[in-house]
Every structure is written in structure tokens, then in C-alpha cells.
Amino acid sequence: MSPYRRYNPDDCTACAVCTVHCPVAEATLAFRGPKQTGPAYERFRLAGLGDDASIEYCSNCKNCDISCPSGVSVATFNMLARAAYCDKRGIALRDLLIGHSGDIGRALRSVPACVLNFGMRNALTRRLLDLVGLDRRAPLPASAPLAERDRLRKGSTTAAPGRSSRSPARRGTVALFPGCFVNYYAPRVGLSVIRLLEKAGYEVIVPESFVCCGLPLVTGGLMSAALKKARANSREAARLAGLGIPIITPCPSCALMLRHEYRDLFPDEEGLAYNAAGIHEACSFFLGVSDREELSLADARPPREPLVYHAPCHLRALGLGRPGIELLQRIPGLRIEDTDAGCCGMSGSYELKKGHYDIGMRIGASLFKAVEQSGAKLAVSECGTCRVQIAHGTACMVAHPLTLLAEYSGIPDS
């Protein structure tokens, strides 16, 4: 019997709406689809009648949860079932590597980017990674310069080492949860968030005690390790909530984990029942900042060329609308088109895994086409791995909405 809490599948009315909206089921017949692998097969699992190996194909994109009219958390069923399956069959080396990528990044955080990028992206390493199950054709993000990673870690937007540029807190303090992608590959996104918040009159702290949100561990079937991350982050979130300090993250997947997934995956953990309302996806927080006129968007100077926007699946799963494009649309003169083309196919680390690359690229094809047809040279998305995938599948540059807002507002990026 699984050590993880399981859910009653009887809320499912077998309408199959989730299957229609599942990008993986559309891209490959190897996956039985959310209705089958989720609630339908859960009945067999609960009765101890066996596992469904096709669960390995679920990308945890959450489109089933978003579309289910009965509110069934199909992806949660799948991730808990995958963890129980992996406990029995063993964890693949690639899932261990990806699952612990946040810990690896932390251990290597003092290593210069040129060393990391040569180490990860040369032909020999790619062949070795391919041997352990990471497809050599899949795009890997490049490590950011050490100086930028350091500045973000210190919560400082200044170049001077050890000095903080924290502004006097006219409006209070906020805590930044950068997430692993921003920490190691895109610290300029975090630095832009800090600069914008400071301009709006907030003091920003970047707590050292935050760790990886645990999502790569969940998708790799490493649920016990993910629970340890959830406990560590929840302790810090509870401490900050006690001080009345909101937490802001520019990563939609981290926001989803902190706000919803911990409690969905580990409902029996009382310590995870902290104030989720105090955790904010960064663009939605800035919509409030703009509504309260703490930051003027009227002076921003956008480019003449149009932009194109992609809404990450995990942002849509948060149920907050599309705050990134809404924020940019408030800049006078900025032209931006929403592709509304569904999942990009990367799904965090899904496409990196051997056997998933072609599926991911098939899923992303509609988005790539929409981006190319828009004629834009610059695409916008909140999710780091969506940005990697769009850059891989199109000729576009890709940026986070808040990096652009800072740039158009004349806020220096270093």
C-alpha cells in the first residue's frame, strides 16, 4: 500500500473533458490520458490491483486540473501514484539528477558560469547525459554570470560586494523567493523584481533559508524528498507570515507549489497550513502595486515593435488570470499579442527526458507557429523553462514581463 495519502476518485464523472485538454494525450498514444491514468486507474491502485506504467508520460502540466468541471485534481492523483510506482520500481538516475538540480545548483553556486556552461554543454557531457536518460537534443539553460547570481543571493542590486541597496521601507518589507531557475539561470529577473519593488517603496529581503520548491522532485517521483523541501519552505513562510511579510516569486511553478501543491500533495502535514494568501506570483503582486499607484507605468518607454506573449500552464493553474500581459498592456503604446496556443511542451524538465523530447516538441509546435506568425522578435513569458523552449523552437528572444517592465521604466539591470 502506498505511504502517501490518496484521494477518493468518485468525484470523477468520466466526462473526458480532461482528456480533450491533455497535451500529452494528444501528442502520443503511449499515454492513456488523464481520465484513465488518474481517477479511473486510481480505483485499481486503491484496491491493490496493479499499476499503470503509462503514468510515466504525465508531464504534470495541470491542464487536466484546469479543465475538469468536477474539480478533480487529476495531476495530483498522477504524481502521488507515480511516487508509489517509483518507490516499488526504483528511481531513474536522470530523475535523481533533475530532482536534486536545486541542491546541485546551490552546491555549485560559487563556480564561474564559463566553467559550468562548458561542463554542462560540451559534446562529451551531452553524450554522457544522454546515456543516463537526458536527451542530447533537448535545450539546457545557460548558467548566469557569477556576479549576477551573487548579487541576487545577497538581495542586492548593486555591484559593490557585501553592500545592500535596500531602500527605506516606506511601504513595508517583502521577501523574494526567486526559485532555482531565477537563482541559477536568470538572476536578472530577480534583480529586476527587487529594483521595481524598491522603486515602489518596498524593502526587499531574499531569505537564505528558502530552498528549492520541490517540484522537480515531485515530477521525478521523489515525494519524500519533496516533503522535506515543503517543510523547510513552510517553516520560513510561516515565520514571515508571523511578521506580516508577504512572499513574492517570479516563477509561476514555485508559486503553485507554495500556494497549493504542498497542501494537495501532503494534506496530513499540519505544518504546511500556513497563510497561502501571503504568497504572491510576482506579476499579480505588481498589478496591485499599479492599482494602488505605487509605481507609475505611464513613464515607461516601450519599443515600437510588437511583442508576443505565452501564458505558462502553471500560471493558468494558479487561477489568477494573466497578470504578466495585463501589466504590460497598461504601458501606454506597448503592443502585445497573446498566442493563447496552450502548453509549450517543456513542462519544467519533462522534455529533457529521453522518450519525451519528440512529444514535447510536438506539443510545442502550435505555440512555435503562433509566435512565428505574430512577426514579433521578442516573446514574453513568466516561466523560465517556457522561455527556454520558445527560444529553442523559434527564432525569437524571450524575456520575463518584469525584466521588460524594469527595462522600459529606465531601471538599470545591474
Could you list the residues that contact ligand SF4 (CB under 6 A)?
12-18, 22, 24-25, 34-35, 38-39, 58-64, 68, 70, 72, 74-75, 78
The SS3 of residue 173 is strand
Closer residue to ligand SF4 (CB): 17 or 104:
17
Closest distance of CB 73 from ligand SF4, Å? 9
CA distances in angstroms from 114 to 122, 143, 145, 396, listed in the order given: 12, 8, 8, 24
The SS3 of residue 371 is helix
Closer residue to ligand SF4 (CB): 85 or 408:
85
Closest distance of CB 138 from ligand SF4, Å? 17
Closer residue to ligand SF4 (CB): 156 or 219:
219
* Strands of 247-249's sheet in order across: 203-205, 173-176, 247-249, 279-281
Residue 246, all three cell numbers: 508577504
The SS3 of residue 11 is helix
**In Å, how far from its chain's centre is CA 269?**
23
Closest distance of CB 9 from ligand SF4, Å? 8
Q: Assign residue 311 a region (left: φ > 0; alpha: ψ between -120 and 50; beta: otherwise).
A: beta
Q: At 168, phi and psi to the nearest 5?
A: -60, 140
Closest distance of CB 307 from ligand SF4, Å? 27
Closer residue to ligand SF4 (CB): 248 or 386:
386
Q: Where are the beta strands (DSSP E) in 198-317?
A: 203-205, 247-249, 279-281, 307-309
Q: How far is 350 from 290, CA to CA, in rounded Å?
A: 35
Closest distance of CB 27 from ligand SF4, Å? 9
CA distances in angstroms from 396 to 65, 323, 391, listed in the order given: 30, 22, 6
Closest distance of CB 55 from ligand SF4, Å? 9
Closer residue to ligand SF4 (CB): 59 or 374:
59
Amino acid (one-letter) located at 314 = H
Closer residue to ligand SF4 (CB): 79 or 297:
79
Closest distance of CB 34 from ligand SF4, Å? 3
Contact (CB, 8 A) for 77 and 7: yes
Closer residue to ligand SF4 (CB): 43 or 170:
43
